Structure 1
């Protein structure tokens, strides 16, 4: 009989990584490039103060933008657009195929549409009642 128990996330990640690598091998998928990488891009004012930024994670040929924010003082100065463009440029250099991200319905839906992202899903009452999470994708390479 098996039992379930909590364990350190890093311990489980190591074990699961081995299983997934074996799955790739079993399906004759030979992926030689780095599998995962976290990337941060900051936006700085003239005095060198951090005023915004973007966090993303590359897995295989995909990038997920997990966070993007700009200080309220600097909104309207195209910093968000510049951050997205910098993320896309980096992703293209890495031969990434797609970028995905999500935002809440009260946050930046129109912004991401203007940046060329397409909505591929919406989930109501996520992460809490009354809020809809909107999921976006942008294909970089055909």
Structure 2
């Protein structure tokens, strides 16, 4: 007689194998629900004369939508316009890929006003982020 193995639930720290599997499974599910809306990663970076990172942007395009996940500029370069240049380069690449909209979120202690100055409109916010902050969701129509 064989005994059926019971499911095991585990909780832990970062699990890259799990993350990769979940990403693969959800991508397949999303692709099936949105035929023809291919997803591709998007990155933009700027380095100094020594090859050190000044700043960068990481995101994705999916069908006609661009998502900005991370945008960071080194503290000593934050007043040099690199955030604007990174964002504009990502938006231009998104338009080149056929996108007509972009979405992102920014905590109230980060840069929602920066994105508003670049044409993003608030679409909602999530209260009670630790420290009494909010997560602001923003959207922008992109034009060629």
TM-score bracket relative to the smaller structure: 0.7 to 0.9
**8 A contact 2:63–2:98 mirrored in 1:** no
Larger radius of gyration: 2
Find the counterpart in structure 2 of residue 27 from structure 1. Answer: none
**8 A contact 2:59–2:66 mirrored in 1:** yes
1:30-73 Cα distance to aligned partner (Å, 9 max, x none): 52x6x111121111223332111100111222111000010110
Structure 1, unpaired ranges of 5+? 25-29
Structure 2, unpaired ranges of 5+? 1-5, 10-16
- RMSD over equivalenced CA pairs, Å: 2.4
Is structure 2 residue 103 aligned with structure 1 residue 87?
no
Query: If the length of structure 1 is used for normalisation, what is the TM-score?
Result: 0.79
CA distance in 2, matches of 1:37, 1:11: 17
Secondary structure at 2:85's aligned position in 1? helix
Is structure 2 residue 115 aligned with structure 1 residue 105?
no
1:94-124 Cα distance to aligned partner (Å, 9 max, x none): 0102110010101111111111111111111
Query: If the length of structure 2 is used for normalisation, what is the TM-score?
Result: 0.78
